[in-house]
Chains A and B, each alone.
Chain A
Amino acid sequence: MFEHVPLWPTAASSISGWVDALYIFLLLVSATMSGLIFTLVTVFAIKYRKRPGRHAEQIEGSTMLELTWSIIPFGVMLVFFVWGALIYFREHTPPQNADEVYTVAKQWMWKFEHKEGQREINELHVPVGRDIKMIMTSQDVIHSFYVPAFRVKQDVLPGRYTTIWFRATKPGTYHLFCAEYCGTQHSGMVGSVVVMEPRDYEAWMSGAGSQPLAVTGQALFSQLGCITCHRSDNTQGRGPTLVGMYGRPVLLEDGRTVVADENYVRESILEPAAKVVKGFSPVMPTFQGQLSDEQLNSLVAYIKQMAQPPSGQPANAKGMATATPQP
C-alpha cells in the first residue's frame, strides 16, 4: 500500500544521509516534546475535570520549574543549532577539485554548461561519486536551484554568482525544481538531474564535439582585447597579470584585501572601477551589457584556468590539489 503513498524522499547525495539523520533526531525530540504536552493536557483535562464538589487548588507558579523547562529545551536546541550548522558549512565548502558546472537561470529554464563545454537545458548530467560545484547566476529574477534527492538548495541571483556543491551517490534521474517563486511558469521551471555511472558519463560526455569552456573563454579573451593589458607572458601590461591570480588574496588600491573568487572576477569585468588592484589605475572600460552570462562564464573559467600551472590541464584533473594556491 505504501508504495503509492510516498513518505520519504530518495536520498542520493553524500549530504542526504546527514540531513536525514538530523531530521530524524528532530522528529524524535519533537515527538517526545509534543507527546509530553499532549499527554499532560489530556491527563489534566480528564483527571481535573469539573465534578460536583471539586475545587481548584491555586498554585502561583514555580521559578525552579520554569527555569527547568527553559534551560533543558534550550540545551537540546543548541544541539539542533550546532548539528545544523555543521551540515550547512559542509554544504557551502566545496572540495577543491570539484567539477564545475556553470549555470544560467532565466524565466523559465535552466541552462547548464560543463567545463568541457557540453551545454544542456533543464537536464543536468553528472557522474556518480564526483564532487560537482554549481556556479550559478540568473539573467532576470531570483530563482533557486533545488534537488530534493540531494537535499541541497541555493538561490540563484541576478548580477552575481552563488555556489553550491554536491556529490551524487546513486545513479538515477532526480527532480530539479526552481524553489523561488519567479513568475508565470515558476512551476514549469523544472528539470532533472541525471546521475550516471562514470563510464556512462564519459560516453555521454564524448558524444558532443564541443570545446572546453576555458578554450571558449581564451578565444574571447583575445577577441575582446583583454590580453593587450592583462598579459600572460611575464611582461607588465596596463592591467595586473591574471596568471596565478584566481583564488588568492588581492591587495586593492584602497587598502582592502579581497580573495579573487568568481564574484570578484565577474565584478571586475562588469564594474572594473569597483575594486582596483593596488598599483593600477582604473582605466579599464566596463563590459556591462556587452557580454552574455554564458560569455562571462567562459571568461571566468579561462581566468580560473590561468591560476593553474602552465601544463594547462583542467582543474578537475586528478593530482591538481597540491597546485592550488595557498593564501
Chain B
Amino acid sequence: MATEAVVEQGERETYLNAVYGLKSWLLTTDHKRIALLYLISITFFFFIGGFFALLIRLELLTPGGDLVTADTYNKLFTMHGQIMVFFFLIPSIPAVLGNFLIPMMIGAKDLAFPRINLLSWYLYVAAGLLMMYTILAGGVDTGWTFYTPLSTEFLTTNVATSAISIFIAGFSSIFTGLNFIVTIHRMRAPGMTWNRLPLFVWAHYATSLIQILGTPVLAISLTLVALERLLHLGIFNPALGGDPLLFQHLFWFYSHPAVYIMILPGMGVVSEVVCCFSRKRIFGYKAMALALLGIAVVGFLVWAHHMFVAGISLYAALIFSLLSYFVAVPSAIKVFNWTATMYKGSIRYDTPMLYAFGFIGLFTIGGLTGLFLASLGIDVHVTDTYFVVAHFHYIMVGGMVMAYLGGMHFYWPKISGRMYPEAWGKLAALLVFVGFNLTFFPQFILGYMGMPRRYHAYPPEFQILNVLSTAGASILAIGYLLPMVYFLWSMRYGKPAPANPWGAAGLEWQTPSPPPTFNFDEQPVVTWDAYNYDEIPEPEEVPVAH
C-alpha cells in the first residue's frame, strides 16, 4: 500500500501541480494552497520578529545600554511583540495547519467560504505591508500593549499605522475563525459526528470562538487609541476626563483570550501527535474536548489579572484571581490526559513526538508559573518583571511554537509529499528544547530578583543570568533555522512520502500525499471514532530521508 502511493507520485495530479504559475497561487481558493501562502508569510514575519529578539538579547548581554539607543531598544521589543503575536503566533497553527487540515480531517473538499479564506490572507498581507511600512518609517515604541495615555498623548512614533495594521490583521483572524466555525458545523462528512471529531478540530473550534468574539474588542480599543491620538477625545486621557484604566480593561478583554488563541491550536496538534506515536486512543476524549471549550469560555473572564497593581479595587482583584484558578483546571486535565494517553502505549520517538514531549514539559512549567501570577500577593512582586516574560514565553514559545514545529514535521509529508531528514529533525528539536530553556529559565530567577521587563539598561547584578539567556537565544536561533533549511531541501531531495507514513488515524491520512485539489477522490464516510489506533496497522518502517 505504501509503495503504491510512492509509485503513483510521478504522474498523479495533486493540489501542487494541478495548475501552474504565480496567478494560480495568488488567486487560488484551495485551502491547501492558501495554507502554503500563509506558511511563507508567517515564516517571513517569524524571522523578522526573531531578528528583533536577537538584537534585544544582544543589548541585554551587558548591563549598560550600549548596543542601541533607548528609543531603538523600545522599538525593538515593541515590534518583536507586535509581529510575533499578531503576525506569527495568532495565524501560525490555525492559518497554516488548520487551514490545510480542517477540511481534510472532517472529510470536506474545502472550507465553507473559500473566497473569504483568500480574503483573510490578503487582509493579512495588507496588514503585514502596513506593519513593514511602520518599521521602515521609523518603527513604533508603544509596547505591544499600547498602554494609554503613553500611546495616545506622549509618543511621536508611528502609533496610528501600527494600530491600523493590527486592526486589519484582526479582521483576517476574524474571517478565518468564522470560516472554521461554519465549516465545522456544515461540512462534516457523513458519519463524522461531533463526538468523532479529532481534537485538532475541537481545538480550532474553540480558538475560532475566541477569534470572532474577542477580536472585535481589540479592533474597538485600537480604533479608540487612533481616534484619541488624532482628535483628543478624552476617552483614556485623564487630563481630558478620560480613564487610562478603561483602555487596559478593553485591551486585556481581547488580549487575554488571545493568549488562548496562541495555545489551544497547539494543544490540538499535541493530541494528534501523542496519540499517533503512542498508538493509543486519547485518554478521556470528552474531557479533552470539553477542556478546550472550557478554556475558551473561562478565558474570557480573567482579563483583569493583568491589572492587579494597576489600581483596580481589592474586590475586583479578588474575583479575577479566583477566576484565574478556574481556567487552570481544564489546562491541568489536558496535561494529565496526554500523560495518561502514553500509559501502556507503544511509543516511538520520531521528531513530532519529541516536540510533543517538549510541549508537555514546557507547557507544564508555563502553566504552573501562571498559578504564581494568579496569586495576588506574588503577582504584586513579579508582575511587570522578567518572571512574566519567562512565563508567557513558556506558554507561547515553549508551548505554541513547539507544537507548531511538531505539527509541521508531522504533517510535512502530507503537505509537501516528501519526508524531511529525520536525524536533522531530531537534532533541531533537541537544540530548540535546550536553547529555549537556557533562554527563558534564567528569566524566572531574574524576575523574582526584581528585574523589570522592557529595561534597556539594568543593574550589574543581573548580568550573569542575562548572559545565560542570550547564550540560550543563539542556540534557539540555530534550532529554528535548521528546519527551515531541511524542509526546503526535502522539497527537492526528500524521499517521496506515502499517504500515511506514520500509520496515523484520521481522514487526512487516507488521501495521497500531497492530496488532490479536492482532497478526496470520493466522498469519505466515517464509521469510526477519532484515534482508532487499535484498528490501524502500525507501519513497519517509517520512510526517512537521510
Interchain CB contact under 8 A, B380 and A153: yes
Interchain CB contact under 8 A, B310 and A56: no
At the interface, yes or no: B51 with Cβ under 8 Å from chain A? no
Interchain CB contact under 8 A, A59 and B283: yes
With known contacts A56-B345, A187-B70, A188-B457, A44–B244 Cβ distance under 8 A? no
At the interface, yes or no: B478 with Cβ under 8 Å from chain A? no
User: Nearest Cβ in chain B — how far from A163, in angstroms?
Assistant: 9
Which residues between 331 and 366 of chain B lie within 8 Å of chain A, taking CB atoms? Answer: 332-333, 335-337, 339-340, 342-349, 357, 360-361, 364-365
Q: Which residue of A lies closest to B238 (CB)?
A: A159
Interface flags for A151-182 (1: CB within 8 Å of B; 0: not) read 11111011110100000000000010111111
Interface flags for A36-73 (1: CB within 8 Å of B; 0: not) read 01101100110011110011111111110110011001
Give every chain B residue within 8 A of A204 (Cβ-Cβ).
none
Give every chain B residue within 8 A of A142 (Cβ-Cβ).
147, 149-150, 244, 310
Interface flags for B371-409 (1: CB within 8 Å of A; 0: not) read 110111111110111000000000000000000000000
Give every chain A residue within 8 A of B155 (Cβ-Cβ).
183
At the interface, yes or no: A88 with Cβ under 8 Å from chain B? yes
User: Nearest Cβ in chain A — how far from B355, in angstroms?
Assistant: 13
Interchain CB contact under 8 A, B464 and A4: yes
Interchain CB contact under 8 A, B287 and A66: yes
Give every chain A residue within 8 A of B379 (Cβ-Cβ).
84
Give every chain A residue within 8 A of B278 (Cβ-Cβ).
48, 56
Could you tell me the distance between the alpha carbons of A80 and B377 in the complex, rounded to whole angstroms? 9
Q: Which residue of B lies closest to A65 (CB)?
A: B340
Which residues between 43 and 100 of chain B lie within 8 Å of chain A, taking CB atoms? Answer: 65, 70-71, 74
Interchain CB contact under 8 A, A44 and B454: no
At the interface, yes or no: B36 with Cβ under 8 Å from chain A? no
Interchain CB contact under 8 A, A41 and B357: yes
With known contacts A59-B343, A66-B287, A154-B309, A85–B456 Cβ distance under 8 A? no
Interchain CB contact under 8 A, B329 and A73: yes
Stretch touching chain A among B251-259, B315-323, B417-425, B480-488: B315-323
Q: Which residue of A lies closest to B73 (CB)?
A: A187
Find B342's partner among A45, A81, A159, A184 (CB 8 Å cutoff).
A45
Interchain CB contact under 8 A, A59 and B377: no
Give every chain B residue within 8 A of A69 (Cβ-Cβ).
332-333, 336
Give every chain A residue within 8 A of B383 (Cβ-Cβ).
153, 179
Q: Which residue of B lies closest to A27 (CB)?
A: B372
With known contacts A73-B332, A88-B376, A158-B244, A56–B454 Cβ distance under 8 A? no
Interchain CB contact under 8 A, B328 and A181: no
Q: Which residue of B lies closest to A7 (CB)?
A: B445
At the interface, yes or no: A228 with Cβ under 8 Å from chain B? no
User: Nearest Cβ in chain A — how far from B246, in angstroms?
Assistant: 12
Give every chain B residue within 8 A of A65 (Cβ-Cβ).
336, 340
With known contacts A45-B349, A175-B459, A6–B325 Cβ distance under 8 A? no
Give every chain B residue within 8 A of A5 (Cβ-Cβ).
464-465
Q: Which residue of A lies closest to B445 (CB)?
A: A7
At the interface, yes or no: A201 with Cβ under 8 Å from chain B? no
With known contacts A23-B372, A155-B311, A44–B347 Cβ distance under 8 A? yes
At the interface, yes or no: A91 with Cβ under 8 Å from chain B? yes
Interchain CB contact under 8 A, B284 and A62: yes
Find A144's partner among B74, B309, B344, B455 (CB 8 Å cutoff).
B309
Interchain CB contact under 8 A, B310 and A57: no
Interchain CB contact under 8 A, B70 and A188: yes
Give every chain B residue within 8 A of A153 (Cβ-Cβ).
309, 380-381, 383-384
With known contacts A77-B325, A80-B325, A148-B450, A50–B238 Cβ distance under 8 A? no
Find B454's partner among A77, A186, A190 (CB 8 Å cutoff).
A186
Q: Which residue of A lies closest to B243 (CB)?
A: A159
User: Nearest Cβ in chain A — how far from B460, in angstroms?
Assistant: 10
Which residues between 210 and 247 of chain A lie within 8 Å of chain B, taking CB atoms? Answer: none
At the interface, yes or no: B239 with Cβ under 8 Å from chain A? yes
At the interface, yes or no: A146 with Cβ under 8 Å from chain B? yes
At the interface, yes or no: B13 with Cβ under 8 Å from chain A? no
Q: Which residue of B lies closest to A289 (CB)?
A: B239
Interface SS of B by simple majority = helix
At the interface, yes or no: B8 with Cβ under 8 Å from chain A? no
Interchain CB contact under 8 A, A34 and B375: no
Could you tell me the distance between the alpha carbons of A66 and B445 in the complex, rounded to whole angstroms? 33
Interchain CB contact under 8 A, A175 and B450: yes
Interchain CB contact under 8 A, A44 and B348: no
Give every chain B residue within 8 A of A182 (Cβ-Cβ).
150
User: Nearest Cβ in chain B — how far from A221, in angstroms?
Assistant: 24
At the interface, yes or no: B136 with Cβ under 8 Å from chain A? no
Give every chain A residue within 8 A of B143 (Cβ-Cβ).
181
With known contacts A56-B346, A180-B384, A70–B340 Cβ distance under 8 A? no
**Number of chain B interface residues as a range:** 35 or more
Give every chain B residue within 8 A of A33 (Cβ-Cβ).
364, 368
Interchain CB contact under 8 A, A41 and B342: yes
Interface flags for A80-103 (1: CB within 8 Å of B; 0: not) read 110111111101100000000000
At the interface, yes or no: B314 with Cβ under 8 Å from chain A? yes
With known contacts A26-B372, A179-B452, A187-B454, A84–B71 Cβ distance under 8 A? no
With known contacts A56-B344, A155-B310, A41–B361 Cβ distance under 8 A? yes
Query: Which of B346, B378, B457, B458 neighbours the largest number of chain A CB atoms within 10 Å of its CB?
Result: B378
User: Nearest Cβ in chain B — how far from A49, in angstroms?
Assistant: 5
Interchain CB contact under 8 A, A81 and B346: no
At the interface, yes or no: B533 with Cβ under 8 Å from chain A? yes
User: Nearest Cβ in chain B — how far from A90, in angstroms?
Assistant: 8
Give every chain B residue within 8 A of A184 (Cβ-Cβ).
70-71, 74, 141
Give every chain A residue within 8 A of B332 (Cβ-Cβ).
69-70, 73
Give every chain B residue within 8 A of A49 (Cβ-Cβ).
346-349
Could you tell me the distance between the alpha carbons of A169 and B348 in the complex, rounded to whole angstroms? 56
Interchain CB contact under 8 A, B376 and A84: yes
At the interface, yes or no: B433 with Cβ under 8 Å from chain A? no
Give every chain B residue within 8 A of A313 (Cβ-Cβ).
none
Find A183's partner among B74, B283, B317, B329 (CB 8 Å cutoff).
B74
User: Nearest Cβ in chain A — how far from B164, in angstroms?
Assistant: 22
Q: Which residue of A lies closest to B152 (CB)?
A: A141
Give every chain B residue within 8 A of A44 (Cβ-Cβ).
339, 342-343, 345, 347
Give every chain A residue within 8 A of B412 (Cβ-Cβ).
none
At the interface, yes or no: B229 with Cβ under 8 Å from chain A? no
Could you tell me the distance between the alpha carbons of A184 and B150 in the complex, rounded to whole angstroms? 11
Find B364's partner among A19, A34, A86 (CB 8 Å cutoff).
A34
Could you tell me the distance between the alpha carbons of A38 and B336 in the complex, rounded to whole angstroms? 11
Find A179's partner among B314, B317, B385 (CB 8 Å cutoff).
B385
Query: Which of A89, A148, A188 neighbours the largest number of chain B CB atoms within 10 Å of its CB?
Result: A148
Give every chain A residue within 8 A of B345 (Cβ-Cβ).
44, 48, 56-57
Give every chain B residue within 8 A of A58 (Cβ-Cβ).
280-281, 533-534
At the interface, yes or no: B15 with Cβ under 8 Å from chain A? no
Interchain CB contact under 8 A, A88 and B317: yes
User: Nearest Cβ in chain A — how far from B289, in angstroms?
Assistant: 11
Could you tell me the distance between the alpha carbons of A83 and B339 in the complex, rounded to whole angstroms? 30
Give every chain B residue within 8 A of A190 (Cβ-Cβ).
459
Give every chain B residue within 8 A of A179 (Cβ-Cβ).
309, 383-385, 452
User: Nearest Cβ in chain B — how far from A35, in angstroms?
Assistant: 10
Could you tell me the distance between the alpha carbons of A84 and B282 in the complex, rounded to whole angstroms? 36
User: Nearest Cβ in chain A — how far from B202, in angstroms?
Assistant: 15
Query: Which of A74, A88, A154, A160 neighbours the largest number of chain B CB atoms within 10 Å of its CB?
Result: A88
List 14 A-B pairs, Cβ < 8 Å: A4-B464, A48-B343, A49-B349, A54-B346, A56-B279, A84-B378, A87-B377, A87-B380, A91-B377, A141-B149, A144-B309, A157-B238, A181-B74, A186-B454
4 shortest interchain CB distances as A-B pairs? A148-B450, A159-B238, A87-B377, A84-B375
Further pairs besides A48-B343, A80-B374, A185-B70: 4, Cβ < 8 Å:
A22-B377, A59-B281, A61-B283, A85-B318
